[in-house]
Structure 1
C-alpha cells in the first residue's frame, strides 16, 4: 500500500462516516493535526469527523490530485456537504512515519458561485 493510497483512502473513509476505521487503519498513536478549530489530538479530530458525517450524511469527496514526496502526501479534493452545496476546494497534507499518518494539515477555499478565473479550482 502506498502513502498516496493510504491518504486517499483515509479521506474517503472519513467522508463516508467511517472515521473510526480510518483512524484505526492508518493513524499513528503519535498523531497530531493542525486544524485550528479543534484540539490537536487524534480522538478530537476523529469525533469531529464523525459528527460532521452525522450532520451531513450525503457528504462527498472527489479527489483530483495526490502528490507524494518522501514522507509527505498532498491531496487536492472537492468536498461537498450535500448535493446542493458548491463545496470547498481542500488540500490535505499528510506526514507519514513507518507507514502511518503522524501529522495532518488541511487548507480549504470555498467554491464561489461565480469564478473570474476561467481555469476553475479543479
Structure 2
C-alpha cells in the first residue's frame, strides 16, 4: 500500500536515474566521443573483453565503462616488458652515477692541488 497519494499515481512509471547516475552516463558519453582505446586496459575492461576507452583530453581519469558504472578504474599502465626496460634504464643510470662519483673522487685531489698552486702564485 502506498504511503502517499502521489505514490499511487506514480505506480508503474519507471523511475529516472538519480542525478549522479545521469552525470556518470553523460561523462561516459563524453569520454567515448573524445577517447582512444588504451593498449593496456583497466582490470574491468580486461576481464569483460570490452575496449578500454580513455579520455584523450584527460578531463576524466576513468575509462568510459568504469565511469558509466561508477566503479573504480584500476589499471596497470606498463606491461612486463616495459617494466623490464625501465629497470634496465634505472640500473644503467645508477651505474653511470657511481662511475661519475668515482671520477669525481679522483679529480678532487687534483683540483685541490691546482687551487693551492693558484693561491701561491697570487
Q: Which has the higher strand share?
A: 1
Task: Name the TM-score, length of structure 1 as normaliser.
Answer: 0.24
Q: Which has the higher contact order (CA 8 A, sep 6+)?
A: 1
Q: Which has the higher helix share?
A: 2
Task: Name the TM-score, length of structure 2 as normaliser.
Answer: 0.24
